[in-house]
Structure 1
Amino acid sequence: MRPVFVLLVSTAWTFAGAQYYYQGLMDYLENRLLAIEDRMQFWHEQSHRYHTELQDFKKLTAVTMDGLKNEHSMLFKDLEGAAVQVDRVERELDYVETQTSPRACANKADKVVEQGVWRLEESRGEEEEEEDEHWEELHSRVSDCVEIISGIRSVKILKRVGSPKGMWTRDPRSSKVYIFNGTSGDIIYQFNSVREFSRSPGVTGSRQIRLPSEWSGPGGAVYNNYLYYIKQEADTDVQVVKYDLLSGSVTDIAMIPVDSHATVYNLNPETIADIAADDEGLWLLYATSDSEPNISLAKMDHATLDIEQIWDTRCPRENAEAAFVVCGTVYVVYNTHLASRSRVQCVFDVNDMVISEEAPLLYFPRRYGAHASLKYNPEEKQLYGWDDGYQIIYRLTMKRKLLV
């Protein structure tokens, strides 16, 4: 009996120990689950708080964006109003400029202004008689043309082709247009008309003319189917070359009295000399030396390239960007290194017929930079300008000079 009793007691103690162990394990697991539930509840509360704050931030952001959009709209309207004001001011400035008494570099000495001015409304017989009376007086003058520019009637930006600097012009005796792209080269481009050039993609579709020598600077001219261009090689004299566009050959070459290191316009140092064509023929604008402060003018025989007469225009080279000649009157266009409004600030008439009160103070409309070239067409009364790669046409209005 004793062993059986011992066995029963031992078994009872074993079951009691196992029950105690499992009870402890269950208590441990229950505590861990409660801790996990607490952490999940805390995470849920934090997530809810973050979600609420995010919603509040989105609402605040939406309100701020609406405010910014309203301010942007108001600012845009203010800028549009400012643009309208600027345009109005520019128009008023242009009007004031046209009404302001012009300044010129023309010489006043030895001027006797006639008492009456030619009037277009006079009868044909009276006008012819008056012209006959003054023809003898003007016969010995260099230029018999009696027109002067009074203003810029309109501006047309044709297109943008090629380099920032270059030249384009139209032959006064034909409809053909010629393009000098860049500041030097041996190729020019020919179009049959301005319309054909405006419709062309770039210079493709044009007739390429390869010259026998390189042209230097955008100072050439086309006159009566002849191309006149400046030729200069390194450390050599400066020449004017006459090229027959019909036969494709050089017909004449002339030396010009220009220092090889001098440039005619301070703002365009690539322009060694500038050839201009008007109703009277060909003119040459140049600087005799780099130390010479003023622009010189020479009348050239378009057939032989002989220089017939030379003048000191008294127009400074400093800040000059281009020039052109109309009826024997030189108009020098000035600008600044920080490109602003180009303006005709100096006028010189070879016949001393333009007085200070009559010479125009022309301002070109604000565009891109500075003109690399300006070429006058006497048949159309307009300028062909090259401005930062843009090809521009300026149509001019004219009036009669006061006869002396």
Structure 2
Amino acid sequence: MVILQLRFLLVSFFTSIVGEAQYVMQDAVLMHYIDRRFLSLESRLEKCNQDILDYVQEFHDFSRRMISHLEGLRVYKAEFKNEVAHLLTRVERAQRDIDYFESTRESTACVEVDEDLVEKQLNEDAEEKRKVKLMLNASCDNMLAGIKSIKIVKKTGDMHGSWMTDPGKDHLKIYFLSGSKNNVILEFANIRAFTERNHKLTPRRVNLPSSWQGTGHVVYNGFLFYHIYGSLNEIVKYNIQRRKVTDRMLLPGAGQISAYELFPDTKIDLAIDEQGLWAIHAEPDTSGNLVITKINHMTMAVEHTWDTSCNSKNAEGAFLMCGTLYVVYNSPSGGTSRIECVYDVLDTINTYEIPVLPFPKRQGSHSMIHYNPKEKQLFAWANGSQILYKLQTKQKV
């Protein structure tokens, strides 16, 4: 009997132990399942966060692309508006010329000439010339008689570039812009600091926000005017001391072809003379003939445009003096530079009687020729050399 009771107790004991073990196993399986679910949720949350970050980055990239496209559209709109205005001006000029020629042409038939129309056309031409004379300084009556001498100041920098002083300021600072595409100006205190190798006379370095195109830039009244690289015809006005862009403009009709065949990098050649700021360029509509535009340097607005008879073929550069354009030509192989074409906007020079004006003997061609009205000499760059030309002038006949 005792044995039976003991067996019953043992069975009951082992049964309770097995039951508790089963509960422990079930709890462990459940905990393991819960852990896996949490890990799965964490993985999904991480993927969701990454997807959100990717979407945000894609939206930012899309926004930047849209802003860039909108900026391009604004530039295109301004350029198109300027081109339309330029075209309308040309159409009006052409219409006036057609009306004038039709009113004055001779005919074998008996034609009654409308004297009122002829008189009106003559009055309009006279009024146009009067406005141009009022706009320009008519008292400037000097013209070029010859190139008197040459001085090679220094040989440094790239094969092509620009160097100049500011004719609108009293200081003697030299501005050095090396290369036909760059964005760094070196400002020297004077010509001595530019020519001497003195570590104490180091130039001030100015980094532009965008690169220039060609070598046709100028410094005037403390501002650098230059054609932006990569743009068709955008000109920037940059304050050198404050280091910021203060204005910009689109030059109608410019930038499609090079201004000078022998130096194709320059599409727009800016110039300074006694009258202020000018732009020189060529257009396909004029068969490659040069076009000169008077620009108001304060407002960056076009004041007047002239189609000249000087062609860009075999031209290497040009400059203006007292409202007269002088175009320098050479041979493609690089011979002696010479002035062969002259155009006076006031029509006070008989350009057909002006002889060919050669530069002092030297081989090679110029990549930049700019007139300085304050110093009455030419600043030039040829084959990596910075050159000064003294001029011989006389009064316009």
Distance 1:400 1:293, change over 3 A: same
Q: Which of 1 and 2 has greater Rg?
A: 1
1:198 equivalent in structure 2 = 195
Structure 1 stretches of 4+ moved >4 Å: 136-139
Distance 1:148 1:358, change over 3 A: farther
1:219 equivalent in structure 2 = 216
Matched position secondary structure for 1:214: coil
CA distance in 2, matches of 1:141, 1:175: 29
Q: TM-score, normalised by structure 2?
A: 0.63
Q: Is the 8 A contact 1:320 1:334 kept in 2?
A: yes
1:292 aligned to which of 287, 302, 312: 287
CA distance in 2, matches of 1:257, 1:289: 13
2:315 equivalent in structure 1 = 320
CA distance in 2, matches of 1:260, 1:322: 16
Alignment map for 1:52-201 (pairs within 5 Å):
139-140=133-134, 142-144=136-138, 145-172=140-167, 173=169, 174-200=171-197
2:228 aligned to which of 231, 236, 247: 231
Distance 1:378 1:340, change over 3 A: same
2:235 aligned to which of 225, 233, 240: 240
Q: Is the 8 A contact 1:268 1:321 kept in 2?
A: yes
Matched position secondary structure for 2:134: coil
CA distance in 1, matches of 2:184, 2:211: 8
Distance 1:193 1:257, change over 3 A: same
Matched position secondary structure for 2:192: helix
Give the number of the structure whose residues are more often helix, by fraction.
2
CA distance in 2, matches of 1:201, 1:294: 46
Q: Is the 8 A contact 2:325 2:344 kept in 1?
A: yes
Q: What percent identity do the matched residue pairs reach? A: 39
Q: One-letter code of the match for 2:141?
A: V
Instruction: Kindly state the Cα deviation for residue 292 of structure 1 after the two structures are TM-superposed.
Output: 3.1
Q: Is the 8 A contact 2:314 2:329 kept in 1?
A: yes
Instruction: Kindly state the Cα deviation for residue 290 of structure 1 after the two structures are TM-superposed.
Output: 8.2
Q: Which runs of 5+ in 1 are unaligned?
A: 1-135
Instruction: Kindly state the Cα deviation for residue 188 of structure 1 after the two structures are TM-superposed.
Output: 1.3
1:372 aligned to which of 358, 367, 370: 367
Matched position secondary structure for 2:228: strand
Asked if 1:331 corresponds to 2:329, the answer is: no
Instruction: Kindly state the Cα deviation for residue 237 of structure 1 after the two structures are TM-superposed.
Output: 2.9
Q: Deviations over 1:377-396 (max 9, x none)?
A: 10110001101001110011
Question: Number of matched residues?
Answer: 265
2:376 equivalent in structure 1 = 381
Asked if 1:350 corresponds to 2:345, the answer is: yes
Q: One-letter code of the match for 1:178?
A: Y
CA distance in 1, matches of 2:285, 2:213: 17
Q: One-letter code of the match for 2:190?
A: S
Distance 1:209 1:296, change over 3 A: same
